[in-house]
Amino acid sequence: MQNMVILISGGGSNMMALVAAAQKNNWADRYQARICAVISNNPDAKGLSWAKDQGLSTHVVNHKDFLLQAEPRRAFDQALQQCIDVYQPSLVLLAGFMRILTPEFVGHYHDRLINIHPSLLPTFPGLHTHERAIEAGFKFAGATVHKVTNELDHGPILAQAVVPVLPSDTGQTLAARVLTQEHIIYPQAVEQMIKQPSANV
């Protein structure tokens, strides 16, 4: 069985889209793949209760618990890794997980760590992507599913969706339209990966 673990920090709408696709397209029977756990760095993440209601295992590894450590990021990532590795995942799916991960963590999940980013990478890595696209006068924006590497919001691109930037757009309205596309392309990209697991190695 190909196990998948999803990491979230908030409402988890991309997580919901992934879980819905797994159920609708019967990933368990067709590809021997299942989403088995949802983990958050935020104990108040609203997505956790939804995931629990779906029968998924949920965990919290609160990054604030590690702030007094000599190396807080590394200590948090090590604890997170221990929590994830219980499930021996084929894929670790970042779905609005708002933490920058250490090189050791990324290396541990080499070629298994997937992210969705709300811009057409390589343009606008980082935060405030929609506002930056509007300010720069871009006519198109979008979303990118990519493998995670040590360079923030880079790594091999697995899927992209393009959304027009309208003259009336604000960061909020553009974000909402991009999000609807995220919910389509993220499950599609993951399904492609679990269809051909040998290609992920």
Catalytic residues: 117
CA nearest to 130, candidates 95, 179, 97 = 179
CA nearest to 19, candidates 40, 2, 34 = 34
Strand-pair category, 157-164 with 140-147:
antiparallel
Residue type, 192: Q
CB of 154 closer than 8 Å to CB of 114: no
In the sheet where 157-164 sits, what is the strand order? 57-60, 33-40, 2-8, 91-94, 113-117, 140-147, 157-164
